[in-house]
Structure 1
């Protein structure tokens, strides 16, 4: 849309158009018309020689005048044409014309977009002319509201100042018009139905909101702020209706409000179900973590009672692996999305490795790069692999006469793969790495997890500092999704 805008708009005008587009569909529905925005294109002489369509919306309340896409199309800014007069006179210009592409008769309004007294663009309203019937109350009200918003546009009261309120709903959800005293002047059928669902059965035009028993603060806040206000009302049985309140003005005088109602009961029920599901998943991860920590503690107690050094070592390794898995579940209990930020998990694994350093030895572990977010199903096997490889450096890197060791964990994220490198400056891998790997449970676990659960590849070698080097290449998405 505006990203493809060929003109050089200053930031304040981009903000203006951004706020206008938040009400784009709402305005098209009120006007029973197609709307588009035209911006001039200046030539090398600084003159407006052409204009381009940078945004377009079709109404949900009537037939479209333009089935085709207009965005990006450019036209000559012919002197004397309606859009030329709109640009240079700063007034609304109306024209009946024939669409050269479809041959249909169209009534067009060219509405100036002004800022600081200068026209910088034109909003074009196109409506099919084959409408030979008297409009009903709903259509007349909507058209009257559209005209009032266009008057506010010319007078600088619309679009409203920037706010955090979401995009305006479409008018099909329900429209209620209030006067300045918050008395009902119009109710669309869908708005009436929404109020009935809230329990207001005796709603009628002419009633005040207080008389109706509907105590909402949106109109007062909208009048005070001069901007849209969003409010949500929930009644018994979970019935929920949102009220999007827009203040109306004639000149500088507030004349009332438009309330856009939307029954969001089903949406809120789904939100509650999702929240309940999320809470359940978090609780499961939390309990798994607690259970794993309990098992880790039991293994530690059991290891202290053993006289065999080999048995104590085996239980110690099992305890460390369980702690790594428990750590992953702790992070998963905080972030239950399909993709997880893995960098924090790796940093926690490094802290665990530092804590396992033997007395009298120096250890420096550095983490470089970022893995960003990866599929949650890959977090646990990847964490176990990294923990095993870091621990392998700690167990075998010092050798017989070394007291200091530096380990680097390097992460490099690519569009389809994560590259991981674990390098140290220790004694390095033995010459007979294949034979040594066959005897090492840790390296066997690493190979199995990398090739089967992570669908990746692993290579072993020597770092530039002469120590051990392990490179991993892990796909960042599951095969079923690629």
Structure 2
């Protein structure tokens, strides 16, 4: 389905600024629909007129009320509407004033109350907000009367160009809604009216005194953002808490008349349960972070013990085996260090790669320099992939450093590059060096070291991927290329 901006671009003469204004209106107009118990349509003059010379209109938006049944079962967005069927729309657009009457709707026997509210932006009337109201259930109650009066005041702001607010949206997912509770504040800051739900919310905050004719501050409740909304004429929002168990979301919407604040509509929503869940999630994240931190510390302790033991060993082979074991444990610790910073089921692999390179560089014992280069990234990976892949990459990098440059002199510079990318649903890691290449008898099926055995088994058995090791031709720079491909789809791991 085409968006508001796409329809406006193809079928109207609206400027980019005007389209942005209507976008802000549509983002917040569920508030208007609920206050008026009405369906709302957004009419804009079409670029081309009808053959009879009348101005046609394009419907750019439609919203239904949450607190009443809709009068419009059809989706009218994108349709062309004749001005002869909607005379009030033409009248409102030409006069720049509210037009009130009735309109006939297909499938409904009686004409329905109809308002046409001209929308002003940058000194010009660019569109019309159409209200179609269904019948109220009997005489309007006290709170319904307040809703309708508040809707009328907001319509005046629409015509003046001060609603929607330039600063922010005021309706939509996560915002308090009309049915959650409303307090109407007058120009003096005193409470004119509070709905039953709003009164219940105040009770939750410990306020049981009569509210009418008194300010929230006088009642013992200081809502800083309410004062800012009154002072600066901009919408403000604040969570007001009572201890750790109660939290009420206050959305303060100033009502303006020729740029003067004449009152504030306060929408209230009890968010105590949401805050409690947020605290639980925060506590859980902290606990998971602490677990990863302790695992990392324990692995580092084991690593340190192995390193100390390797230094005490008088057997070079034993010392080397202990150092290799120590390095593998550090590779696992690197993943837990990343998870300790940001717990979850995925981890940013670039952070792990950076730590692995530091570890490998610190382990270089060659008499000649070795430069490392990283190109590309894998983004966020599931931890079940990141941990074994980190061990594999560390092993391959160390293997290149230890075996590729044995024929280099002190003046030669070794180069090891790591290339990371996504390719056809796989994570691909390639390690290249400019060393001597593989021997003619080399076979990965019969590895000559424990490290390569670990790499092969992790890639094939745990990651369900593939690994190949080949000698590059002199034309390609020589050396060895190790290519690892790991599937990322669900069910790829074992």
TM over 0.5, shorter chain: yes
- The correspondence for 2:481, drawn from 445, 460, 469, is 469
Asked if residue 151 in structure 1 is aligned to residue 152 in structure 2, the reply is: no
Asked if residue 62 in structure 1 is aligned to residue 62 in structure 2, the reply is: no
Q: In structure 2, what is the equivalent of residue 264 of structure 1? A: 271
Deviations 1:28-78 (A, max 9, x none): 110101123233342499x99644333222111111122333333333455
Deviations 1:376-425 (A, max 9, x none): 33211111111111111112211334543211111122473222211111
Question: Shift in Å at residue 87 of structure 1?
Answer: 3.2
Structure 1's 103 and 385: CA in aligned 2 closer, same or farther, altered over 3 A?
farther
Mapped partners of 2:358, 2:171: distance in 1: 43
Mapped partners of 1:164, 1:141: distance in 2: 22
Q: How does 1:396-475 map to 2 (within 5 A)?
A: 396-402=403-409, 403-414=412-423, 416-434=425-443, 437-463=446-472, 464-475=476-487
SS in 2 for 1:433: coil
Q: In structure 1, what is the equivalent of residue 333 of structure 2? A: 326
Q: In structure 2, what is the equivalent of residue 340 of structure 1? A: 347
Asked if residue 176 in structure 1 is aligned to residue 183 in structure 2, the reply is: yes
Q: In structure 2, what is the equivalent of residue 216 of structure 1? A: 223
Deviations 1:434-466 (A, max 9, x none): 267433222222222222332322222233222
Question: Shift in Å at residue 263 of structure 1?
Answer: 0.5
Structure 1's 374 and 179: CA in aligned 2 closer, same or farther, altered over 3 A?
same
Mapped partners of 1:369, 1:104: distance in 2: 66
Deviations 1:342-394 (A, max 9, x none): 11211221222222222421211111112122223321111111111111111
Structure 1's 457 and 90: CA in aligned 2 closer, same or farther, altered over 3 A?
farther
Question: For the Cα contact (< 8 Å) 1:36–1:124, is it kept in 2?
Answer: yes
Q: In structure 2, what is the equivalent of residue 374 of structure 1? A: 381
Q: In structure 2, what is the equivalent of residue 133 of structure 1? A: 138
Q: In structure 1, what is the equivalent of residue 7 of structure 2? A: 5
SS in 1 for 2:359: helix
In structure 2, the gaps of 5 or more residues are: none
Question: Shift in Å at residue 255 of structure 1?
Answer: 1.8
Structure 1's 10 and 369: CA in aligned 2 closer, same or farther, altered over 3 A?
farther
Structure 1's 286 and 216: CA in aligned 2 closer, same or farther, altered over 3 A?
same
Higher mean alpha-carbon deviation, 1-10 vs 109-118, is at: 1-10
Structure 1's 112 and 164: CA in aligned 2 closer, same or farther, altered over 3 A?
closer
- The correspondence for 1:97, drawn from 94, 103, 115, is 103
Q: In structure 2, what is the equivalent of residue 33 of structure 1? A: 38
Q: Normalising by the residue count of structure 1, what TM-score does the alignment of the two structures yield? A: 0.92
| Number of residues of Structure 1 aligned to a counterpart in Structure 2 | 479
Higher mean alpha-carbon deviation, 207-216 vs 15-24, is at: 15-24
Mapped partners of 1:3, 1:271: distance in 2: 36
RMSD: 2.6
- The correspondence for 1:24, drawn from 21, 24, 29, is 29
Mapped partners of 1:179, 1:221: distance in 2: 15
Question: For the Cα contact (< 8 Å) 1:29–1:60, is it kept in 2?
Answer: yes
Question: For the Cα contact (< 8 Å) 1:343–1:370, is it kept in 2?
Answer: yes
Q: In structure 2, what is the equivalent of residue 81 of structure 1? A: 87
Question: Shift in Å at residue 160 of structure 1?
Answer: 1.7
Question: For the Cα contact (< 8 Å) 1:353–1:391, is it kept in 2?
Answer: yes
SS in 2 for 1:304: helix
SS in 2 for 1:70: coil
Question: Shift in Å at residue 80 of structure 1?
Answer: 7.8
SS in 1 for 2:207: coil
Question: Shift in Å at residue 103 of structure 1?
Answer: 6.3
Structure 1's 207 and 113: CA in aligned 2 closer, same or farther, altered over 3 A?
same
Question: For the Cα contact (< 8 Å) 2:405–2:414, is it kept in 1?
Answer: yes
Structure 1's 480 and 379: CA in aligned 2 closer, same or farther, altered over 3 A?
closer
Mapped partners of 2:76, 2:161: distance in 1: 27
Higher mean alpha-carbon deviation, 159-168 vs 373-382, is at: 159-168
